[in-house]
A = this chain, B = another copy of it.
Amino acid sequence: MKKSRIDAAWTGKAECGRCGIRDLVLFADLAEPDFNLIHLPIEERELDVESVLYSAGQDGSALFTVRTGLVKLVQYLPEGTLRIVRLLGPGATAGLEALLGQPYEHSAVVLQRALVCRIPRQVVERLSTETPRLHGQLMQRWHGALKQADDWLTGLSTGKTSQRLARLLLHVMDQDGNAPLFSREDLGAMLGVTTVHASRTVAEFKRNGVLREPKSGRCICDRARLECIATAEC
């Protein structure tokens, strides 16, 4: 178990108009005049690993845009077990359910040091009634989240653990085969297996040369091997 903590108040006003990744984010399609409709501060913050954006059950007062880093969405079962249901990278939006006046479904926790913008619910509501441009983006976000959820289910909860791990790595890997290697506990929560078994599977991958971990927390993978493990061809 890791310690969790609620972060202090957010600081630093963001300037959406000149956001570096503007074409990636929720406000991608907004025009100049639209920004004048924003009357509440959008705050930007750099968050350490294990910081909590929001917790399941809190009522949703804001949406969040991930600008850099990685955020995990954690869902708890009544019995206490937990699963990581999604990973959010740069450009992704967390807490969409806030728009419906619902409490947050998950807890959102930083997995890799992240730069995150906090957008008050009212800002999006206001923009949403004033400009239709936002609707398309909102739909895209919902759709993207749903697609990831479905892929997560079929990809990371189906088949043997080695297949699941291979699919996860293929998913988070860049062109050079470089990927973050999460803690064994997080891996277990993503793949739906125990921490110990996640550890064993990583160890097996290392033994077979499918994966190397030069610095702790990152790894270099053999894409071809992973692809063939993922499909159970080998």
Is A35 on the interface with B (CB-CB < 8 A)?
Answer: no
Contacts of A128 in B (CB 8 A): 135
Q: Are A105 and B135 in contact (CB-based, < 8 A)?
A: no
**How far apart are the CA atoms of A138 and B231 in the complex, in Å?**
36
Of B77, B140, B146, B192, the contact of A149 (CB 8 Å cutoff): B146
- Copies of this protein chain in the complex: 2
In whole Å, how far is A205's beta carbon from the nearest beta carbon of chain B? 19
Q: Are A139 and B100 in contact (CB-based, < 8 A)?
A: yes
Interface size class of A (residues with CB under 8 A): 35 or more
Q: Which of A78, A135, A143 has the most CB of B within 10 A?
A: A143
Q: Which of A203-234 contact B (CB under 8 A)?
A: 231-232
Also in contact, A77 and B147, with CB within 8 A (given A128-B135, A139-B100, A153-B153):
no
Also in contact, A152 and B155, with CB within 8 A (given A135-B128, A139-B142, A147-B105):
no
Also in contact, A100 and B143, with CB within 8 A (given A128-B135, A135-B128, A159-B81):
yes
Q: List 14 A-B contacts (CB under 8 A).
A: A75-B150, A75-B153, A77-B159, A81-B158, A83-B154, A100-B139, A102-B143, A105-B146, A105-B150, A129-B132, A139-B142, A149-B153, A153-B157, A157-B192
A residues neighboring B (CB under 8 Å) = 75-79, 81, 83, 85-86, 96-97, 99-100, 102, 105-106, 128-129, 132, 135, 138-140, 142-143, 145-147, 149-150, 152-155, 157-159, 192, 231-232
